[in-house]
Structure 1
Amino acid sequence: MSLPTPAPSVRRVLTLVLGVGLLVAAAALLHRTFRHHPWHQLGDDLLALGPVTVAAAVAATACSYLAMTGYDAMALRHVGHRLPYRRYGFASFVATAFGNNLGASAVVGAALRARAYATWKVPGATIARIIGFNLLTLALGAAVLAGGGMLHDPAGVGRALRLPPPVTLALGAALLAAVVAYLGWAVVTRRPIGWRQRRLVPPAPRLAVAQVVLSTVEWLTMAAVLFVLLPADARPGFLAFAVAFAVATIAGLVSNVPGGLGVFESTLVVLLGATTSPADLAVALVAYRLVYYVVPLLLAAVLLAVHEVRQLPLPPLRRPALRRPTLDAPFGLALVVAAAGVFMLVVGDLPCPAELDLSGVTTSLAGLAALLAARGLRRRLKGAWAATLALLTGVTVVSAGHGDVALPVVTACLAGLLVATRSVFYRGAFLCRRQTLLVPVVAVVLVAGAVWWQESSRFTPVDAPLLTAPFAGGASAADRVAMAAGILGVFLGVRWISRATTVRHGVADPEELDRAGDIVARNGRCLSQLAFTGDKRFWFSPGGEAFLMYQVSGRSWIVMGDPVGNPADFRDLVADFLAEVDRHDGRPVFYNVRADHADLYRESGLSLAKLGEEAVLPLADFSFAGKAKTNLRNCRNKSQKLGMSVEFVAPQDVEPLLPELRVVSEAWLGHRNGKEKRFSLGAFDEEYVARFPLVVVRQEGRVIAFATLWIGADDGEVQVDLMRRLPDGPRTVMTYLFVECIAWAQENGFTAFSLGMAPLAGLRTDESASMWDRIGHLLWTHGEQFYNFKGLREFKQGFLPQWRTCYVAAPGGPDLPNAMVDVVTLVGGGLRGVLRG
């Protein structure tokens, strides 16, 4: 049975639904506005603009992007970090170009800026301040223009934004008041603001004024790009146009639709009203998209690809899957295929010349399929590659047979590119190798039925875009069902092909367990004993002298601890494992590792984040004497007076005690109203418990507590693993158990005793702290109702140990929190187990 994939968060779903809803609404409005435009003449219309007009638009575009680099220059000056222009100019241009096109521009732009600055060793906290400063600068100019426009014409702006004039007036006043307040804070008061340890320091007065001026100029140059593309006799006043442009752009940004596509245009149509005809505006808008969005995106893609290639490490490792993700063939192809999909989706809803009788429904459904399949191409999936190639080939043949010229040329070129780049699509299985065929069969039937319904002349043409056709008022019930079925079929089919090969839940077989046991006996640390919990898979090195123990949860392939075995095999072992993870489009996670192999993880493209601290007692000089150990001695004496005694049991003598131990374990679990944790901890399994030495605490002959002991083979260390006690037993019993275990380990010549890890302890809280550090510290501070983080560390600190840092090695950025959710789900035995504690 395959492991379930964690459901997306409610916020993510709502954001997606909102974005799609806005896109559909905007598409409907644009379709009604431009439905009579002769789109087959668009090429001639664009050529008719003339070289002077195009050159002016290109010049305005260059000025706009150049002004955006000034944002970074001011931000770097504000945070006191010097960089040459070639670096921050590159970061600004790439982040702006991709953010404008891909939607969620603040997030995309911030991620790309962070990626670029991080390669130049800019601290994380400084990067965050730079990004925040840039977003604020961008907002200031928008607030000046949009706020002024709302105060000047609240009725017109209100119609465009679907707001009553009083609300629009109040919103405009608030925007301008915010700009004035910001300048007052930076120029007059000059006082830092914040809460607790967080402080916002105002920029220098000249810098604050420069922010407002430069941002306003940048917005004006952006508006100038579209303004010069309009016919001279159809242009309104430039300032009025710039205000309308700013309002429309903000609406597009808020919509989170890629490039504000549709939302920007529809808002601008309403704001300009009768000033500019739809035909003139349509040509200018298409040219504007090409000049301001597409051309900079292509240039930014080339620059980013060159930058990423230069950052690739070249260690002497045989590792096809260890490189950091770069903007490569799959990304570029996915972007182009998505663009072709949008083109087909729009063209299918617009009037065509009479000689081109290709079904609009067929073209639109093909475009929707290409748009959705682009994500699978980005993930390098074989199934997505095969399905997209088949789709493009079919569109090429059908559209060419109907007399079209442009569409078959585009789709044929894309199909050729897919064939030429076949080798980079290696994840998952081909379509014919999938086990479940019910979903694709249903999808094909639904899509074929929708196409047949239209092609059989039973379909009544609907004056609405494809995505809104099922709800169009002029459509018959049968037509609505047919369109809805076609859309549903496309979604089902693309979702089916966009899945990587499912990794089924499984554990090691007895032969693998024996191989791992031999390696653990020779080279294993204490943590290596988790190989015998019975819930893990093993990945052995090519030489067979080392292994990783892991399990799959969601997309995460979670390795427990460092590699086990001969260190000479570790590099090839990690390389082979990561290649397998990459082939399944997985996320590698090395959980609870030490700093010993940090270089290997970093060379493998993984980031190290602090997980917590392990309490370790070096036993050579350890003593219970002295004032600092008074509490431990008192606990020992008090426990003995209460009739408690300790017995150490060898593994071969554990079996007769198992019935008594099970009673204690079940009582402990019942008191906690929880279930066994697994993977990173031992669970009460009789075969597992009987493998290890055991320490038993008795009171008046009755077992009241016990613990299993791990013994490392290569470092002479002892660690307590599975611990259980009766809920009604003495409160000092666990401290007494630890004291006696430490004394036993010291008497038997062991070098160190580990009290285990204190999760989330010691995470950084200064300005250079990462996002994970901040999240972890928040859980440490406010998560006591879920887990006794502070109490556990205070208990272990009572033994005065040395603290050894433990890490998690995983892909950086947002992948790390997602990976940790998968870890918690795996350890807790599923979401229900996590919630039950």
Structure 2
Amino acid sequence: MSSPSRPSPGPLRRALAPALVVGLLAAAAVLLHRTFRDLSWERLGADLLALGPGTVAAALGATALSYLAMTGYDALALRYVEHRLPYRRYGLASFIATAFGNNLGASAVVGAALRARVYSTWRVPGFAITRIIGFNLVTLVLGVAVLAGGGTVHDPAGVGAALRLPAPAVAALGGALLTAVAGYLLWAFAGRRPIGLRGWRIDRPAPALALAQVALSTVEWLTMAAVLHVLLPAGDRPAFLPFAVAFAIATVAGLVSNVPGGLGVFEATLVVLLGPTTPPAALAVALVAYRLAYFVLPLALAAVLLVVHEARQAAAAGRERTTPAPAATRPPVLTPSVLTPSVLALAAAGAGVFTLLVGDLPGPWSLDLSAVTISLAGLATLLTARGLHRRLKAAWAAAVALLAGVTLVAAAHGDLVLAVVTGGLSLLLVPARPAFHRGTLCVRPRSLVLAGTATVLLGAAVWWQESSRSGSPADVPLLAAPFADGTSALDRLLVVAGAVGVVLLVRWVHRSRALAPHTVDEDQMALVSDIVARSGPCLAQLAFTGDKRFHVSPGGDAFLMYQVEGRSWVVMGDPVGDPDEVPELVLGFVEEVDRHGGRPVFYNVRAEHAELYRRCGLSLAKLGEEAVVDLGAFTLTGKARVNLRNCRNKSVRLGMSVEFVAPGDVEPLLPALREVSDAWLERRSGKEKRFSLGAFDEDYVRRFPLVVVRQQERVVAFATLWTSADAREVQVDLMRRLPDGPGTVMTFLFVEAVLWAKERGFTAFNLGMAPLSGLRTDATAPFWDRIGHLLWTHGEQFYNFKGLRAFKQGFLPEWRTCYVAAPGGPALPNSMLNVATLVGGGVRGLVRG
């Protein structure tokens, strides 16, 4: 059975974000070209050297102070969440997150992910990490609000002229920013009582902490601006305070653009704000030096520190591991343990950037490749880094081929530095081949269109290559080619086409591949049936719904039932079968998922195997609570269950009766059952639940005992009953009722089913799960619990969460916690969306019940 495809956003939504980024880059490129078109790019290296050691030392000192101030953000945040850590730890987390976030774009997301990664290795709770990230974001915003607001209020006419806005509007904007900062401080001084917002609790910072936020953030922004300011020639420097205001605005524009490092957008905004006061030549040299001092050097240092940190954590994890994965399923990796796929991906990105910037190769050769073509190879290598991080086989092959090709060309041209960099990395990648074992899933037809488009655009790059041999365009690196004097408009277009072609081609190389269609054969189904009959809990009966794949243990005495939705491989329930085979079964399944680049998700599991799931790198989140009635203590007498007794008596007076039907006697009832089911589905827009519940399929219904409720001989409700292999527990699965039937019919059905199970010696009756029930709401609650409680509180118009819990509570059950085991962090909501799609045919089907 083939897996359902993941719903994708519409073409307009898919194209909107890239179009906005491309538009910003295009506007920035046009502006920068007009500003710097008269500059000589060949003199850039000499101009950088001419800055002098004193200026460079001052810029590096300001850079160090800025990053040091950023570590202060984390010091304040840790005090806010009341979690103590030594400076060497939170300083490392802050520096790594800031350096990578500054360079890679989407800095809030990248920085948050890296902070979460580093902090989690030191057992900082997830809820505390979330609050630290939010606190740091507020601190960052406070400083830029002070600078931008203060600058615009101080000189509204000057800022208004630069922004092409009227001075009164600029002054009003500056006043609003300063008012917001003052409001934040007043809120902090108003008391320590937390505030609630739609189910969320927000703690006020202490007054001293809020003042420290504003002061530290302002200092951090000023030191960051000082890096660029000292790199400008002394005679051409504007006054520092107006410059710092312009710098802050330009930096925010770069952050909002989501372009890596704000490249191009930051520079263009700064050019607009500074106007003609700063000579273009001096500004261009200062901007390049600023990028090197504040972005490239800290990134290199952060990469080294991250490698060291990951190596130490890997060594510690190796010492603590008690049950390694089966040796037969772990391919040997011949590179040092510190060279993980993520580290190799980082190295590939660095080599790609190096090649992209170097571009031109010295020395004549029969194959005289232009600087643009070499730069395109560097761009392609840079883009493969993401696939290497994901351990994709296709990315490994593409990276090795590109690096080897650049190495050969660079060696032939006599560029030994480039040849050593790319050749050394390719030699490290070759023995690491077994680590890159993943494919991906769910190919879409547009991949062929993508490949065709890439081929056309690469053809445009070849045109550029041929024209470069005749000396038409300027032979300069890719980033400089659109601005070089010798480049015609057509050739500029070809440069852009070549770059876009490389992007699309690499994306096509990393394309998803469809999971092979799967049909369960008779032998496998017979094996699964035998395991369920011997040792299956009630939930194991879902193996017969016809929508599951199976992963069987090597010994053949245990299995998992699952289905693939998007990137999630969703297992329904805990493993079924011999407990001794469960660890190897789960580890083998997780490795299989990893080979396909998926996410393992164990849905509706209990705490019995929690430690095993955690050993597989999964986090447990509470899904809800299951209501289980102790049949030994169940009775309808007494005040506790008076409502159930009254409902039963009323149903009998209304002429209702109950019948229990053995599986062999279900066939004659199927037409009447179909009529009830169709009426029930029509009321709910025809949406059948799948995967986690049985659907009305005649072959499936024939397998189980039925409880049928009649009123004057007419079938008004029915339900299938699961029984466990050990004859201890009964559970209701598929339930249907006529929409116009008596209101007490389902309560009557459940009461009679519970009494029937008790009479036949069963010890427990499972009423099923109450979703999102019992989630924590205190200040230490995980993020998922907070989201779930928000749905529980405000989602009654979509699903009767509270009503379902109240109905089951009427039987006075014991509540048993159910979990979902899945990758934590941002992957958890995506996994749960995949589960919702699988169960209900989309989120719409889920909320309609």
Decide which of 784, 788, 795 is 2:796's aligned counterpart: 784
Q: CA deviation at 1:365?
A: 4.2
Q: Call closer, same or farther: CA 1:573–1:315 in 2, change over 3 Å.
A: same
Q: Call closer, same or farther: CA 1:831–1:347 in 2, change over 3 Å.
A: farther
Q: Call closer, same or farther: CA 1:704–1:429 in 2, change over 3 Å.
A: closer
Q: Which amino acid aligns with 2:8?
A: A
Matched, 1:581 2:587: no
Corresponding residue of 1:318: 324
Corresponding residue of 1:531: 543
Retained in 2: the 8 A contact 1:158–1:165? yes
Q: CA deviation at 1:330?
A: 3.0
Retained in 2: the 8 A contact 1:547–1:563? yes
Corresponding residue of 1:71: 73
Retained in 2: the 8 A contact 1:3–1:504? no
Comparing 752-761 with 186-195, which one deviates more in the overlay?
A: 186-195
Comparing 741-750 with 397-406, which one deviates more in the overlay?
A: 397-406
TM-score by length of 1: 0.90
Pairing of 1:464-503 with structure 2 (within 5 A): 486=498, 489-503=501-515
Aligned to 1:724, the other structure's residue is in SS state strand
Decide which of 265, 269, 272 is 1:270's aligned counterpart: 272
Corresponding residue of 2:300: 298
Corresponding residue of 2:764: 752
Aligned to 2:718, the other structure's residue is in SS state strand
Comparing 404-413 with 283-292, which one deviates more in the overlay?
A: 404-413
Corresponding residue of 1:712: 724
Decide which of 620, 623, 629 is 1:611's aligned counterpart: 623
Distance 2:302 2:645 in 1: 68
Retained in 2: the 8 A contact 1:667–1:726? yes
Distance 2:274 2:58 in 1: 22
Retained in 2: the 8 A contact 1:645–1:697? yes
Corresponding residue of 1:378: 389
Q: Call closer, same or farther: CA 1:769–1:28 in 2, change over 3 Å.
A: farther
Corresponding residue of 1:388: 399
Retained in 1: the 8 A contact 2:723–2:730? yes
Q: Call closer, same or farther: CA 1:475–1:724 in 2, change over 3 Å.
A: farther
Q: CA deviation at 1:678?
A: 1.0
Corresponding residue of 1:666: 678
Distance 1:445 1:303 in 2: 40
Corresponding residue of 2:334: none
Distance 1:384 1:436 in 2: 20
Pairing of 1:214-229 with structure 2 (within 5 A): 214-229=216-231
Alpha-carbon deviations, 1:250-272, whole Å to 9, x = none? 22222222222222222223333
Distance 1:457 1:537 in 2: 56
Q: CA deviation at 1:369?
A: 3.2
Q: Call closer, same or farther: CA 1:762–1:2 in 2, change over 3 Å.
A: closer
Distance 2:122 2:451 in 1: 51
Retained in 2: the 8 A contact 1:40–1:352? no
Pairing of 1:394-433 with structure 2 (within 5 A): 394-397=405-408, 410-428=421-439
Comparing 195-204 with 126-135, which one deviates more in the overlay?
A: 195-204
Distance 1:60 1:4 in 2: 51
Corresponding residue of 1:104: 106
Alpha-carbon deviations, 1:547-576, whole Å to 9, x = none? 100000000000000011111111111111
Distance 2:191 2:684 in 1: 55
Q: CA deviation at 1:373?
A: 3.0
Q: Call closer, same or farther: CA 1:796–1:468 in 2, change over 3 Å.
A: farther
Corresponding residue of 1:130: 132
Pairing of 1:142-541 with structure 2 (within 5 A): 142-158=144-160, 161=163, 163-187=165-189, 194-195=196-197, 198=200, 200-312=202-314, 313=317, 314-319=320-325, 329-339=340-350, 341=352, 358-359=369-370, 362-363=373-374, 365-397=376-408, 410-428=421-439, 438=448, 442-443=452-453, 445-457=455-467, 486=498, 489-541=501-553
Distance 1:15 1:158 in 2: 29
Comparing 257-266 with 818-827, which one deviates more in the overlay?
A: 257-266
Retained in 1: the 8 A contact 2:716–2:738? yes
Corresponding residue of 1:22: 24
Aligned to 1:628, the other structure's residue is in SS state coil
Q: Which amino acid aligns with 1:167?
A: A
Matched, 1:685 2:691: no
Corresponding residue of 2:333: none
Q: Which amino acid aligns with 2:384?
A: A
Q: CA deviation at 1:363?
A: 4.4
Retained in 2: the 8 A contact 1:393–1:411? yes
Q: CA deviation at 1:822?
A: 0.5
Distance 1:162 1:363 in 2: 40
Q: CA deviation at 1:45?
A: 3.7
Distance 1:190 1:650 in 2: 64
Distance 1:531 1:47 in 2: 71
Distance 1:360 1:28 in 2: 22
Aligned to 1:611, the other structure's residue is in SS state strand
Q: Call closer, same or farther: CA 1:541–1:340 in 2, change over 3 Å.
A: same
Aligned to 1:729, the other structure's residue is in SS state coil
Comparing 458-467 with 121-130, which one deviates more in the overlay?
A: 458-467
Pairing of 1:812-827 with structure 2 (within 5 A): 812-827=824-839
TM-score by length of 2: 0.88
Retained in 2: the 8 A contact 1:440–1:493? yes
Aligned to 1:82, the other structure's residue is in SS state coil
Q: CA deviation at 1:658?
A: 2.0
Distance 1:509 1:202 in 2: 61
Distance 2:66 2:237 in 1: 20
Q: Which amino acid aligns with 2:283?
A: L
Q: Call closer, same or farther: CA 1:702–1:495 in 2, change over 3 Å.
A: same
Q: CA deviation at 1:88?
A: 2.1
Q: CA deviation at 1:728?
A: 2.2
Q: CA deviation at 1:328?
A: 5.9
Q: CA deviation at 1:718?
A: 0.5
Q: CA RMSD in A?
A: 3.8
Decide which of 51, 55, 74 is 1:53's aligned counterpart: 55
Retained in 2: the 8 A contact 1:674–1:836? no
Q: CA deviation at 1:78?
A: 3.3
Unaligned runs of 5+ in 1: none
Decide which of 540, 543, 562 is 1:550's aligned counterpart: 562
Corresponding residue of 2:579: 567
Corresponding residue of 1:629: 641
Q: Which amino acid aligns with 2:793?
A: T
Distance 1:443 1:420 in 2: 34
Distance 1:540 1:196 in 2: 45
Alpha-carbon deviations, 1:392-431, whole Å to 9, x = none? 344445566677676555544443443353332211289x
Aligned to 1:707, the other structure's residue is in SS state strand
Comparing 504-513 with 375-384, which one deviates more in the overlay?
A: 504-513
Percent identity of equivalent pairs:
69
Comparing 599-608 with 270-279, which one deviates more in the overlay?
A: 270-279
Retained in 2: the 8 A contact 1:507–1:535? no
Q: CA deviation at 1:745?
A: 0.6
Distance 1:338 1:23 in 2: 21
Q: CA deviation at 1:8?
A: 5.2
Q: Which amino acid aligns with 1:373?
A: T
Matched, 1:741 2:747: no
Q: Which amino acid aligns with 1:681?
A: L
Q: Call closer, same or farther: CA 1:753–1:831 in 2, change over 3 Å.
A: closer
Aligned to 1:696, the other structure's residue is in SS state strand
Retained in 2: the 8 A contact 1:439–1:493? no
Q: Which amino acid aligns with 2:387?
A: G
Comparing 356-365 with 115-124, which one deviates more in the overlay?
A: 356-365
Pairing of 1:786-801 with structure 2 (within 5 A): 786-801=798-813
Corresponding residue of 1:640: 652
Alpha-carbon deviations, 1:106-146, whole Å to 9, x = none? 23223333333344444444333333332222222222222
Aligned to 2:85, the other structure's residue is in SS state coil
Aligned to 1:627, the other structure's residue is in SS state coil
